[in-house]
Amino acid sequence: MLILPRRAVVTAIRASQRLKLSTATGTKSFPSLRNANIPKAVVDLVVIGAGPGGYVAAIKAAQLGLKTVCIDKRGPPGGTCLNVGCIPSKSLLNNSHLYHDVLHDTKRRGIEVSDVKLNMAQLLTAKDNAVNSNTRGVTHLFKQNGVDYYQGAASFADPHTIRVFGNTDTDNNTPAETLLTTKNVIIATGSDVTPFPGITIDEKKIVSSTGALTLREVPRRLVVIGGGIIGLELGSVWARLGAQVTVVEYQDQVGAGMDAEIAKLAQRSLVRQGLKIKTKTKVLSAYEGVDGVISVQVESAKTGAQELLDADVLLVAVGRHAYTSGLGLDTINVERDSRGRITVDEAYRTTPHSHIRAIGDVCTRTPMLAHKAEDEGIAAAEYIAKGHGYVNYDAIPAVMYTAPEVAWVGKTEEQVQAAGIKYRIGRFPFAANARAKTNLMTEGWVKVIADENAHRVLGVHIIGPDAGEMIAEATLAVEYGASVEDIATTTHAHPTLSEALKEAAMAAYIKPIHF
């Protein structure tokens, strides 16, 4: 007797039969696969990828009554974010910040600490524990919501059949290959590290963001190619732990996507912390010498002058690209753009298969952010189950978890200018905020951009303590089309850092009280 995965619908498919599935676009039939020895199951939805977009989509679909399977070849669910991205990097960011503060900041607070030592092994163990706790949490949520999770590589056998290779169902001893016949598919395979031409990543001396999270010792010299969010966050981690960090950025400012004024403030802050930042600089090559030192050849985009930078470790952080390898998209002719991203419409439907949807980093809807993918996962599941879903792409917050943090939502000043919108700006420094002064954390500003006439909030940009938490209120304001008066006349608890947002909103149309 063939035992299929728990909660799966048993089906016997004969070679001469044709299976008919009801889809959103009508009834579609196709030949069944002929290998009777491969276990088969029929489900409502297969989600390929168990990252933030995929696992959230699977859970929401199950909650909406769809028989759902989620597949990921990594093993533990959570995708790049939970395993080798957001979660482990935030563990290192937080704990390296604590270490740095104990070394350099506690004395002025009246706390005398001596014989401070860095236990690198324990720092990495704490990171791994954070990862394991979060991935186990997703596994529990799958079980709680009735999602079948397959650990294996998925590929399209045809538009309605997914072949799963390797490993097993987490709840059942499933053979190494399984066929899933499904009415709907959500592709949520995320993104991978973008390589740098001519530089080979070995994850030991020349590392990606993944390798930078597992270094066993602090490098004396670290060169980072790329001054975006990932490069600056990881660069700041190792700088706090004692590395001499040099960041090389081709653009004229760091922090891709940031408001230019805030980006300049962030760069100044990081430089004061000891990072060397070279903007308008092009990397020509990198090679490892016989002494193990990596030589990075760079060139000034302005003058053409060249320079050699020596590094014990080189971090390549020049971005990420859509990951579709092994999916068999060419087999079913799924349309992609010139950058390899799956093209989708407003309901995340792919071309030419409306029952196949794509979300998160792998699709053409930007930006590449975990929380954006989560919201798309919910929306895609709702489109399948209900026919409607919602994500407001004008209200997607972003955060850089350096110290101070940088967070923003809505339009930058440059975007408002380019759109020809008449606007006004309100600014308020944390140096004038009572809680920030009390906490001895006064670096940074809140910047609010509002429409000149209606005073509607167009964008909020924060550099300062707990900016990543404060941005939630600003995101709600943008989502609901609030005016700066709405924020300013809303009572904020005192003393709190959030009062800085209230005062910046006030400054956008009259004057703040405390500055």
User: What tokens appear for 348 in the block?
Assistant: 């995340």
SS (H, E, C) 301-318: CCCCCEEEEEECEEEECC
Q: Is 494 a catalytic residue?
A: yes
The span from the CA of 294 to the CA of 206, in Å, is 8
Length of the chain: 515
Q: Where are the beta strands (DSSP E) in 252-355?
A: 276-278, 281-288, 294-300, 306-311, 313-316, 320-322
Q: Is 157 helix (H, G, I), strand (E, B) or coil?
A: strand
Backbone dihedral angles phi then psi of residue 103, each to the nearest 5 degrees: -70, -35
Q: Please count the other Cβ atoms lying within 10 Å of the Cβ belonging to residue 486.
A: 15
Query: Contact 17/28 with Cβ under 8 angstroms?
Result: no
Q: Please enumerate in sequence order all residues whose Cβ is within 8 A of that of 427, keeping only pairs 6 or more positions apart, or say none.
A: 445, 446, 447, 448, 504, 507
Query: Contact 302/280 with Cβ under 8 angstroms?
Result: yes
**Radius of gyration over alpha carbons of the chain, in Å?**
25
Helix (H) or strand (E) holding 18: strand 18-23
Q: Is 138 helix (H, G, I), strand (E, B) or coil?
A: helix
* The one catalytic residue among 104, 140, 355, 494: 494
Q: Please enumerate in sequence order all residues whose Cβ is within 8 A of that of 193, keeping only pairs 6 or more positions apart, or say none.
A: 201, 208, 209, 210, 316, 320
* Nearest of 150, 168, 133 to residue 47 by alpha carbon: 150
Catalytic residues: 494
